[in-house]
A = this chain, B = another copy of it.
Amino acid sequence: MDLLFKALADPGRRTLLDRLHANDGQTLGELCRHLDMTRQGVTQHLAVLEAANLVAVQRRGREKLHFLNPVPLQDIYERWICKFERPRLVALRDLKRRLEDGGRGATRTKGGKR
């Protein structure tokens, strides 16, 4: 989990993820072409993304294709978003109730306690 957040903590690496999302399976050269980083910089960032399992590679002759792997992002969701969003959902539910109460004067919302 540490490698994952560390990997995401750099703007250049997040840009790379966006590029791969827009066009998956790019080679190193293709990625470099549209970014103002040196090739070596991109290589090193890609290595960090690989270590975090956010990018998978496949060799094709002398080229190296890079593919996005969204699974670790899902892990973040389950460990750090789901768990922490409950208060927010509760707040939204309460807000909704209050709006409904104010608008129609009803105390119970449809569906009741659920």
Q: Which residues of A contact B (CB under 8 A)?
A: 1-2, 5-6, 8-9, 11, 14, 17, 21, 68, 70-71, 73-74, 76-77, 80-81, 83-85, 87-88
Report the minimal beta-carbon distance from A69 to chain B, rounded to whole angstroms.
9
Q: List 7 A-B contacts (CB under 8 A).
A: A5-B9, A6-B9, A8-B8, A8-B80, A68-B84, A70-B84, A73-B85
Contacts of A74 in B (CB 8 A): 81, 85, 88
The count of identical subunits is: 2
A88-B70 in contact given A2-B11, A11-B2, A81-B81 (Cβ < 8 Å): yes
Tell me whether B71 and A21 are in contact (CB under 8 A).
no
Tell me whether B2 and A5 are in contact (CB under 8 A).
no
A77-B81 in contact given A9-B8, A11-B2 (Cβ < 8 Å): yes
